[in-house]
């Protein structure tokens, strides 16, 4: 084996409890690393960007339904969405998802 760190003994690497501990630690870390709180959330800007990139409305509606969101649906936010040519169907889906 290449050069090991000074505090790791080569015989420690073949110790079954240590290997089991490392495997369990990596498995238990996964739910924390990929928790729902760490997933990105869809925002007004994201919806506008999807429309501007030419994504079909039906796909954007599916994305709105399938993701968490941080939509700004106050009167100013709704006005901005209309000015960005977001369809009534998409705004309606955003409103339903936010309830």
Please name which of 52, 68, 69, 51 lies closest in space to residue 60, comparing C-alpha atoms: 51
Question: What pairs with residue 69 in β-bridges?
Answer: 42
The Cα–Cα gap between 81 and 47 comes to 9
Confidence of residue 1 (pLDDT cuts 50, 70, 90): very low
Its sign, for the CA torsion 94, 69, 99, 36, is: positive
Q: What is the pTM of this model?
A: 0.62
pLDDT score, position 37: 63
pLDDT score, position 5: 45
Question: What pairs with residue 42 in β-bridges?
Answer: 69
CB–CB of 63/50 below 8 Å? yes
**pLDDT tens column, 20-73:** 666 666 655 555 454 566 667 899 999 999 999 998 999 999 999 988 999 999
Domain boundaries, the chain: 39-98
pLDDT score, position 25: 60
Confidence of residue 78 (pLDDT cuts 50, 70, 90): very high
**pLDDT tens column, 7-20:** 445 554 555 566 56
Phi, psi of 55 (to 5 degrees): -65, 135
Mapped onto helix, strand or coil, the DSSP state of residue 42 is strand
């Amino acid at each position: 084996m290449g050069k090991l760190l000074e505090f790791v003994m080569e015989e420690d690497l073949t110790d079954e409890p240590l290997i089991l501990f490392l495997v369990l630690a990596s498995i238990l870390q996964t739910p924390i690393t990929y928790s729902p709180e760490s997933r990105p959330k869809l925002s007004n800007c994201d919806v506008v960007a999807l429309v501007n990139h030419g994504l079909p409305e039906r796909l954007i509606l599916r994305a709105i339904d399938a993701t968490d969101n941080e939509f700004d649906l106050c009167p100013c936010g709704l006005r901005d969405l209309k000015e960005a040519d977001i369809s009534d169907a998409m705004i309606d889906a955003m409103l339903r998802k936010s309830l």
